[in-house]
A and B are shown apart, each in its own frame.
Chain A
Amino acid sequence: MAYDLIGKNFTPPDVRAKVTGKAKYAEDFRVDGMVFCRLLLSTIPHAKIKRIDVSKALAMEGVLGVLLPEDLVPLEDPLMPPVLTDEPKYIGEPIAAIAAVNETVAEDALEKIEIEYEPLPFVIDPLESLYPGGPAARTEGNVGNRANIELQTLHWTEEDFASVERGSMPKGKPAVEWSAGDLDAGFANAAYVVEETFVTGSNPHHSMEPRTAMAYWQNGKCHVYGSTQSQSMIVLGLAQYLGIEPADVVYVAEYCGGGFGSKATPYPIMAVPGLMSKKIGRPVMMRISRSEEYFLGSARHCLQGSVKLGFNADGRIAAADIYCLQANGPYFGFPDFLNSAQTLGACYSPLATRFRGVPVLTNTPPAGAQRGPGQNQFACILEPIMDRAAEELGLDRLAIRMINAPSDSTLLDARQSPMTSAYLADALQMAAAEFDWDNRKLRSRQRRGSKVTGIGIGSAMHTGGFYGFDGLVRILPDGKLYIHTGVGNLGTYSYAATSRIAAEILKYDWDDCVIVRGDSRKHLPWNSIQAGSNTSYTQSRTNYVAAMDAVAKLKEIAALDLGGAPDDYEIDGRRVFRRSNAAVGLSYGEAAQRAIDLAGKFSGQEGPEDVNALTKLALGGIAGTGLVGVAKDSADVGGMVATFTTGFIEIELDIETGRHEIKDYFAVCDAGTVIHPEVLAAQINSGAVMGFGMACTERAIYDPQNGLPGNTRLIQTRPPSGLDVPPSMTAFGVDKPDPSNPVGVKGMGEPPMGAGASALLSAISDALGGHVFNRTPVTPDMIVNAANGRLQSNGPLSVFTA
């Protein structure tokens, strides 16, 4: 389908402010009378606070107030992380906050707080907690997760642990279990069966902007300037933490300096300035330091598990059996462990699958969703195993991926959902052609001195869209289109690309469109979180339904004023006019004025019943200002929206130093119709860069004896620099429309990271003659050990290791 705007590059409206320094992030706001606060963080991994005395701190000159757990609204869900706690469950958990005229005074005052802890048992390694009588991370239990897994106690038997001696994953009673297909028959008839025990590292999100927030109260409303990926979705949770109604929260998040999943939903610490400000009657700025980010800034979940695969002689996976534990942190975490089976299912569509798993609570800082949570860890484990299977079966490594690629009949997860579209096979073929697979694979394992060439392939998936949110657009008497978006701005420009769908439907020039966003006072609709690779899909749907509603109203107004039926009218060139006589019509500006005169549904005084309360609030704010298009995107999409990326890589591995150099990287994604080619390529490439760090350099370390973190600086868990990436990278999209989206687009943000990471690990394994590490990150010392046939320093089940 030919579009005027969709599929074309454009300059997103917020880029200029980013290159001039005018873009305002949370720490860039100033208000008269603003003071600072600092946090008292727990120094031990699990304890009850027996006594806390803040009197000496409060008596200090310049100290304005203290916030304690007793000041907070109690939370009903014990798995929900609190703002402050009197039972700290990890080192670095906030216990109290002090406000002062400046940070030095606040910091000095923290030193004056007298605190007495009663230490409690703690646990870092998930398996340790499952032993009979093993330590529990919480006094109430040792297992739980936000995926409807209630806080509970689970221990395995001594016999369950017998396999640990052999370095193999024990498999006791799971907290979650599902299966599909005939597993036993699949394994019984398999030509090749492989079973591996694996551990994936946790790595910090490393958002460049720490999660700073500033807040003050005005006219009974709490104004919060925060750092979040999302906009409208933040308001509800933030209101809950503040103990007020959502209508009493003013939330500003025009820019977000990186989130990668860690700022998708409201996080407890962002409520501190608002709560403190209420208490002391002054605006409060809370700056979070880089070191504190390692406690408060989230990280990817560490997984511990096993995967058993049975292959038919042609390479088709007949049976897959996954057991997966996750170090959940002490609160609800994210269901990464469940998503391991999802990525296997989507990329390799096994004929039979069983999944078992346990989210084990640990006294490590709360982990959460990070770009491809679960899917990307598992891709890193899976791809080198697929390479080994290809070698064992005498198959080409691309061929084994093609024969297992998903089709229309592939079903995912416990619910066995179909996918709305899955063009991974196309992506593999396109990337292979661009990479020149047939010739380049001949370079695999060629050695020059200490340097060995490695060739790798990696694929990853994620869900790629939601539905059920609201769209809101306005045409004002100035004739311009105002597209209200509450999704957020995490830096991918998808808020802008999806706004262009409304412009496309209403046949606007892009120059005549204004995107309204970034501040809840601007009357923003109920929109999705900006996360989960969903924005492009979800927001294109909401903007589509709102624009269609506006088109219908334009035609209705024309018919009312100029006679005939709405269907007699057509739109173009910012006019609504008769099909039979284009001279008879109204300009959009005139129609907007008529909408104001007619009022009611035309101008937002009345709206659809099924839209969210937040959208109704927004409608109330703009009623009577122009022609309003508003609707809920309620159509069921008939399956899971899935998005894929596959990456092909060539590296040179120095087997004496363990260092690698990436020579070339090609990646192709299946994200449906490409709506913004330049951004699509940037996301694929930059996601891979993040993946290179996950694969080889980034990991969180915790000392099992004391629960201490081993990394509180960037250099200690290093994200890739510009010198770690190939000199140039190539990326594009399959560009086949998804049938369930009005313009055929799907989201795409997460799989590029998993593709980059797993392709790199596939190439490292290739350079080492097919050695499978079953662990991330793969560090230089592990490579040197493998190249020399030495044992690794970490056991197969060790977690949070250096």
Chain B
Amino acid sequence: MSDIPTKGASPQYFDAAGEGSGLANKRASRRQFIKGVIASGTAISTAGLVFGGLGGCSADSPPVNVGGVERLLSLNVNGQIRRVDVLPQETLAMTIRYKLGLTGTKLGCDRGECGACTILVDGVPTYSCSMLTQSVRGRSITTIEGLEGQDGRLHPVQQAFIDELGPQCGFCTPGQIMSAVALLETNPNPTREQARVALSGNLCRCGAYDNYINGVMAAVGRV
């Protein structure tokens, strides 16, 4: 029985990866996120999901941009440069889902507890609900949509998750897959225990952990 690990709390995973603290330093810490929000002058609402941006949703937005001032950024998402207007307090999950139309990244808690929003930032699994979009300029972002080959060929982890019937309701699946992809890229030959630890920041309420880990192990050697 352990508490829910945060993404930064998987030491075994890093040891296995042999990357040490260099990789860990790339990770977004909760403290950095909160500092960023304070710097932007916006407090986190107790209501959880609050989104001020309009882009992509409303064809007839009012002329005055209520809710904050957006700033144009260039983001590197799934190998493409995407230009997007971003609010100072906007999280990466919201930018990805509402402005870039990449809805495969899910919001389960919006508070860094469940892992449904896991994406890769420079190859490192990251809770995109807890990272400010402004902080990822110049970094390489990979979402679930970026795994599939242009010929429609699935990433080996995706295929293995089908073969082992990983998903049940499927809501946590993209996050589980992103964690698994990151693991296998840094540690191509993990033990089952290492896989469990690597995916332990992704909650699955259906409880399909056994099938997911079977999927990770089935992907070993295919990546």
Contacts and interface: CB of A to CB of B under 8 A. Distances in A.
A50 interface: no
Contacts of B60: 33
A633 B47 CA distance: 47
B114 A34 contact: no
Given A15-B167, A725-B207, A21 B104 contact: yes
Interface in B46-105: 46-54, 56-62, 64, 66-68, 97, 101-105
Interface in B111-125: 111, 113-114, 116
Contacts of A165: none
B202 interface: yes
Given A690-B207, A713-B113, A719-B205, A25 B106 contact: yes
A723 B165 contact: no
A158 interface: no
B197 interface: yes
B113 A18 contact: no
A685 interface: yes
Contacts of A420: none
A721 B54 contact: no
A20 B3 contact: no
Contacts of A689: 207, 209
Contact of B206 (A11, A17, A491, A714): A491
Contact of B114 (A61, A105, A208, A720): A208
B151 to A, nearest CB: 14
A580 to B, nearest CB: 45
A719 B203 contact: yes
Interface string B199-220: 1111111111111110000000
B111 A723 contact: no
Nearest to B177: A19
Most chain B beta-carbon contacts within 10 A, residue among A19, A103, A255: A19
A257 B103 contact: no
B148 A61 contact: no
Contacts of A690: 205-207
B59 A208 contact: no
A33 B64 CA distance: 16
Interface stretch (B21-29, B32-40, B130-138, B154-162): B154-162
Interface string B154-189: 100010011001111111111001000000000000
Given A105-B67, A258-B205, A292 B48 contact: yes
Given A21-B104, A289-B47, A722-B204, A686 B168 contact: yes
Interface in B9-31: none
Interface in A1-40: 11, 14-25, 27-28, 30, 32-36, 38
A18 B168 CA distance: 9
B208 to A, nearest CB: 5
A715 B212 contact: no
A278 B60 CA distance: 18
Most chain B beta-carbon contacts within 10 A, residue among A18, A256, A490: A18
Given A18-B173, A25-B171, A208-B169, A685 B210 contact: yes
A20 to B, nearest CB: 6
A292 B50 CA distance: 13
B141 interface: no
A491 B173 CA distance: 12
Interface string A631-652: 0000000000000000000000
A721 B1 CA distance: 9
Nearest to B56: A30
Interface in A242-266: 255-260
Contacts of B190: none
A101 B62 contact: yes
A255 B111 CA distance: 23
A101 B46 contact: no
Interface string A721-733: 1111101110000
Contact of A19 (B47, B50, B61, B154): B154
B196 A208 contact: no
A235 to B, nearest CB: 21
A357 to B, nearest CB: 29
A786 B103 CA distance: 49
A408 B89 CA distance: 64
- Chain A: interface secondary structure? loop
A258 B49 contact: no
A678 interface: yes
Interface in A99-129: 101-105, 107
A678 B114 contact: no
Given A25-B171, A35-B58, A722 B199 contact: yes
A22 B205 contact: no
Contacts of A718: 3-4
Contacts of A721: 2, 4-5, 200-201, 203, 209
A724 B1 contact: yes
B143 interface: yes
B45 interface: yes
A102 B110 CA distance: 17
Contacts of A696: 1
A660 B192 CA distance: 20
A107 B45 CA distance: 9
B108 to A, nearest CB: 5
Contact of B2 (A19, A259, A723): A723
Contacts of B51: 36, 102-104, 287
B153 to A, nearest CB: 11
Nearest to B87: A104
Contacts of A61: 62, 64, 66
A151 B161 CA distance: 49
A446 interface: no
B171 A209 contact: yes
A18 B170 contact: yes
Nearest to B146: A21
Contact of B106 (A32, A257, A493): A257
Nearest to B193: A727
Given A104-B67, A208-B116, A290 B111 contact: yes
Contacts of B212: 722
A179 interface: no
B167 A21 contact: no
A711 interface: no
Contacts of A208: 106, 108, 114, 116, 169, 171-172, 203-206
A715 B1 contact: no
B66 A102 contact: yes
Most chain B beta-carbon contacts within 10 A, residue among A21, A33, A689, A729: A21
A206 B171 CA distance: 12
Interface in A343-395: none
Nearest to B50: A103
Contacts of B47: 38, 107, 289, 291-292
Contacts of A289: 47-49, 110
Contacts of A291: 46-48
A724 B1 CA distance: 5
A19 B171 contact: no
A687 interface: yes
Interface in A217-263: 255-260
B152 to A, nearest CB: 9
A398 interface: no
A566 interface: no
A697 interface: yes
Given A16-B162, A30-B101, 14 more contacts: A16-B154, A21-B105, A35-B58, A61-B64, A101-B58, A102-B51, A102-B67, A104-B50, A207-B205, A208-B171, A258-B171, A291-B46, A491-B167, A719-B203
11 contacts: A11-B162, A17-B170, A30-B101, A34-B57, A101-B54, A292-B48, A659-B1, A723-B200, A725-B207, A727-B196, A728-B210
Closest 3 CB pairs of A and B: A21-B104, A689-B207, A289-B48
